[in-house]
Amino acid sequence: MNVMNTPVRDRRTLTLALLSLLQFLIAIDVTVVNVAVPTIGAHFHAGPGTLSWVVTGYTLVGGGLLLLGGRLTDLLGRRRMFLLGAGIFALASLAAGLAPNLEALVAARFAQGAGEALASPAAMSLIALLYPGPEERARALGIWGAISASGLVVGVLLSGAIVQLLDWRWIFGINVPVVAVVLLATPALVRPDGPRRGDGPLDLPGAALLTTGPLLLVFGVLRHSVPAALAGCVLLGALVAVERRAKSPLVPLSFFAHRTRMVANAATVPLSAGLSTTFFLATLYLQNVLELTPLQAGLAYLPFCAALLAAVVTVGRIVRALGTAYASVAGLLLTAAGLGLLARLPDRGSLWVDVLPGMVAVAAGMGIGLIALQNAALSGVTDTDAGTASGVQRSVDQLGGSLGLAVLVGGAFGGTTQVGDFRAAFAWAAGVVLVAAVGVLLALRKKYRKK
């Protein structure tokens, strides 16, 4: 059967399922790594600060290159970039599973981020163009998010079982067969790309600055190196100057003149930081403080994943009822409340009383808030800038999560895992998410009241 000859509606559904499959894979990789972090740390004799590179290395490189990936998507074609990114991700996953030391593992995670940076904006822009209406796009993104959240469930369960029953290296091997399915199915479901849309120069200096700046900043924070942190800030400042003068910038500065996109992307940063902090610190607390086994820690995430799934399944209706702005504010406030509950963790707490209520609130808030903000960040996109808009949104999501995690972990932890450090990190995370909620409400309130 020729899939291209199927009705448009059915083909759109199949294409959405395929694009969601790769996001499912990425979600698995995030949770698999987080639950396995204590075991990997014990294997390589690494502390919390050094170990966080296993998580943040992937998201920093991915976030830094996502804008370049979005630009390449618009210039070279969405299907081409989706296939290339998926292939790189699979090879890097294989390298991570075979890593002989922590340095090699982090390098493989960097390569995974590069693959995701090509594939993710291509997938997201395809969804935006397949579903151009705000309501149907919110519904499609909700399905995409639901499948991604399913990956979180599979990831935590697989991680606990694999680490305890087999070996942590196998957590990366599961990526390879899933990507093989994606690579085989894409040519049948996604139409071929048209001719290249332009031959303008790529902004490689901008991409280099956007990647090395955050890497240096995180390195400085985690190693408490003021010169490195300052150098990272200088590079990020230089990025603005380079983008002003570039003939073909990663993102034209005029792109940020769109008020809704600007506010949505800005609010995504603290929200993603809150989720990354919750995953990383909650896993350490469960295993190092409550002394749960990896399998028990994985099972402990089931209520979290159930709440996230419920939120992303219903977010389309929430957006229709409240509007994009108020839905995002509701998600931010719920996330801040969950982080506030986690900031009260006792020295010897209870999973059901002290940990799960906060985790469930963070999950529900994230499911509502992030998808509402994604919808806002893609407002008004066209065929010429859908990849750029998707790359910007994914970039701030990735960089916000990794930078936030690095700052909170680097600032709160001094090489140990004292419970007071957990409380401080969660309290700071709750504060920044609450500030973001207030900012969105003030910036968009009047606009959406008119609607």
Residue written as tokens 């981020």? 113
What pLDDT band is residue 361 in, cutting at 50, 70 and 90?
A: very high
pLDDT of 414 over the 60 cut: no
Same domain, 374 and 284: yes
pTM, two decimals, is 0.74
Same domain, 214 and 279: no
Same domain, 195 and 316: yes
> In 45-133, which ranges are continuous DSSP H helix?
48-76, 78-97, 102-130
Helix (H, G, I), strand (E, B) or coil at 251: coil
The tokens of 224 are what?
């408490």
**What is the pLDDT at residue 386?**
67
Q: Which has the closest alpha carbon to 280: 222, 217, 228, 353?
A: 222
Where among 216, 247, 278 does a domain terminate? Answer: 247
Task: Let me know the angle formed at the C-alpha of 388 by 386 and 394, rounded to the nearest 5 degrees.
Answer: 100
Same domain, 96 and 229: no
From residue 368, alpha-carbon distances to 281, 360, 375, 440 in Å are 22, 13, 11, 14
257-302 residue pLDDT tens: 777 888 888 888 888 888 888 878 888 888 888 888 888 887 888 8
Q: How many domains does the chain have?
A: 2
pLDDT of 195 over the 70 cut: no
**What is the pLDDT at residue 182?**
87
| Overall average pLDDT of the 414-443 stretch | 79
Same domain, 184 and 152: yes
Same domain, 401 and 390: yes
Query: Comparing 47 with 75, which gets the higher pLDDT?
Result: 75
Same domain, 264 and 187: yes
What pLDDT band is residue 358 in, cutting at 50, 70 and 90?
A: very high
Q: Which has the closest alpha carbon to 373: 291, 318, 303?
A: 318
pLDDT of 318 over the 80 cut: yes
What pLDDT band is residue 136 in, cutting at 50, 70 and 90?
A: confident
Q: Evaluate whether 267 touches 440 at the Cβ level (below 8 Å).
A: yes
| Overall average pLDDT of the 126-154 stretch | 72
Residue type, 375: N
Same domain, 189 and 209: no
Query: Comparing 227 with 258, which gets the higher pLDDT?
Result: 227
Where among 247, 282, 317 does a domain terminate? Answer: 247
Give exposure, 53-72, as e/b (b: 16+ Cβ within 10 Å).
bbbbbbbbbbbbbbbbbbbb
What pLDDT band is residue 1 in, cutting at 50, 70 and 90?
A: very low
CA 16/CA 307 separation, integer angstroms: 23
Task: Let me know the angle formed at the C-alpha of 366 by 362 and 369, rounded to the nearest 5 degrees.
Answer: 130
CA 384/CA 376 separation, integer angstroms: 18
Q: Evaluate whether 405 touches 276 at the Cβ level (below 8 Å).
A: yes
9-61 residue pLDDT tens: 567 788 888 888 887 887 777 667 877 888 888 888 877 667 778 877 887 88
Same domain, 46 and 66: yes
Where among 191, 224, 247 does a domain terminate? Answer: 247
Same domain, 288 and 241: no
Mean pLDDT of the chain: 80
Helix (H, G, I), strand (E, B) or coil at 429: helix
Same domain, 265 and 227: no
| Conformation bin of residue 291: beta by default, left when phi > 0, alpha when psi is -120 to 50 | left
Query: Comparing 357 with 75, which gets the higher pLDDT?
Result: 357
CA 335/CA 318 separation, integer angstroms: 16
What pLDDT band is residue 178 in, cutting at 50, 70 and 90?
A: confident
What pLDDT band is residue 189 in, cutting at 50, 70 and 90?
A: confident
| DSSP designation for 377 | H
Residue written as tokens 């618009």? 74
196-214 residue pLDDT tens: 655 556 778 888 888 888 8
Same domain, 86 and 198: yes
Containing structural domain, residue 272: 3-202+248-450
pLDDT of 6 over the 80 cut: no
CATH number at residue 17: 1.20.1250.20
